[in-house]
């Protein structure tokens, strides 16, 4: 298994365009984040890259992830698209390169695009490789296609209303690290009564409790925020320890309320 360590709390950039992405990443780096998550489809790699460059932090202290979009999951586009991402990010390599979504049934075979993913690593364009939004069956296929031990990370939606336990267990069994995205279900879970009462008992905010819950499960997580105050609050979660009873209460909130399920999404594991 790879020795790479991902800072377990990163910052997401979905929906943040141009100046909003620049400001969010700049504030996050000032507050102490060292892990940034972007994607080709977010259209903000250029702004994220400028924020990283202007922060002037040694490259080896940063962990940057980007994701290859659906249109580029073929032999012709894959590597040129990664080259373009690196150019926009002003980086020689990313730390983690993900396939953003599995190609739909009529799209390219996994054999084709995952070989390109492995080639990107071989070419030094990324330190580690992974996938996102794959089902267990698709992960099994990916493990067959990719060089042994190279599937480093799986990024999936995980929050108290969608715990995704089966996929997480599969990843654990196969030594694949898991990043839980949309930890707040885009704000929904921050209004939950159970979470608010646990927060009150700890003298913390709902956001801290949710991030601490993700971390307690051994997940990496990447909440996003446009506000310095919220970015700082989310970082404070690293100092919050939940009890086993708190964790069990939050686990029990699972109701399968998935936020990210576009029409090209796979048939999710139940």
Nearest residue to 81 (alpha-carbon basis) of 100, 59, 63, 61: 100
Among 40, 126, 155, 177, binds ligand NAP (CB under 6 A): 155
> Considering only residues 241-260, where is the footprint of ligand NAP by CB under 6 A?
260
What the block records as the tokens of 117 is 């993913």
The 3-state DSSP class for residue 172 equals helix
- Active-site residue, selected from the candidate residues 22, 33, 42, 181: 42
State in angstroms the smallest separation of the CB of 77 from ligand NAP.
Answer: 19
Q: Could you tell me which residues are beta bridge partners of residue 129?
A: 97, 151
Among 132, 164, 177, 237, binds ligand NAP (CB under 6 A): 132
What the block records as the tokens of 47 is 């702004």
Displacement of CA 53 from its chain's centroid (Å)? 21
* Known catalytic membership, residue 42: yes
State in angstroms the smallest separation of the CB of 186 from ligand NAP.
Answer: 4
Single out the segment in contact with ligand NAP by CB under 6 A; choices: 8-16, 105-113, 160-168, 191-199.
Answer: 8-16
By beta carbon distance, the residue nearest ligand NAP is: 12
Does 131 bind ligand NAP (CB under 6 A)? Our answer is no
Q: Are 36 and 64 in contact (CB under 8 A)?
A: yes
**Helix ranges, the chain (H):** 18-31, 45-55, 78-89, 110-122, 136-145, 165-173, 193-202, 206-216, 228-236, 244-251
Q: How far apart are CA 101 and CA 130, in angstroms?
A: 11
User: Within a 10 A sphere around the Cβ of 250, how many other Cβ atoms?
Assistant: 25
Does 13 bind ligand NAP (CB under 6 A)? Our answer is yes
Among 181, 212, 215, 242, binds ligand NAP (CB under 6 A): 181
State in angstroms the smallest separation of the CB of 243 from ligand NAP.
Answer: 21
Does 182 bind ligand NAP (CB under 6 A)? Our answer is yes
Which residues sit at the interface with ligand NAP, rule CB under 6 A? 12-14, 37, 100, 132-133, 155, 181-187, 190, 207, 222-227, 230, 233-234, 260
Catalytic site residues?
A: 42
């Amino acid at each position: 298994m790879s020795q790479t360590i991902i800072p377990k709390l990163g910052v997401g950039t979905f929906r943040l365009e141009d100046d909003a992405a620049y400001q969010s990443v700049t504030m996050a780096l000032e507050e102490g984040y060292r892990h940034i998550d972007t994607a080709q489809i977010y259209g903000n790699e250029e702004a994220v890259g400028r924020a990283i460059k202007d922060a002037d932090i040694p490259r080896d202290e940063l962990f940057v992830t980007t994701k290859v979009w659906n249109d580029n999951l073929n032999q012709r586009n894959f590597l040129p698209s990664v080259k373009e991402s690196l150019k926009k990010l002003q980086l020689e390599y990313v730390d983690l390169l993900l396939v953003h979504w599995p190609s739909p049934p009529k799209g390219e075979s996994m054999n084709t695009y995952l070989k390109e993913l492995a080639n990107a690593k071989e070419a030094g364009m990324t330190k580690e490789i992974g996938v996102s939004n794959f089902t267990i069956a698709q992960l099994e296929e990916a493990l067959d296609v990719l060089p042994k031990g190279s599937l480093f990370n799986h990024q999936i939606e995980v929050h108290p209303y969608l715990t995704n336990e089966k996929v997480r267990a599969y990843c654990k069994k196969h030594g694949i690290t898991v990043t839980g995205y949309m930890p707040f279900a885009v704000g929904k879970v921050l209004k939950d009564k159970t979470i608010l009462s646990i927060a009150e008992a700890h003298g913390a905010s709902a956001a801290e409790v949710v991030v601490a819950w993700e971390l307690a499960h051994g997940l990496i997580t990447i909440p996003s925020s446009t506000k310095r105050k919220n970015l700082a609050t989310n970082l404070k979660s690293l100092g919050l320890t939940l009890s086993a009873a708190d964790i069990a209460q939050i686990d029990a909130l699972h109701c399968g309320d998935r936020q990210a399920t576009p029409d090209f999404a796979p048939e999710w594991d139940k």
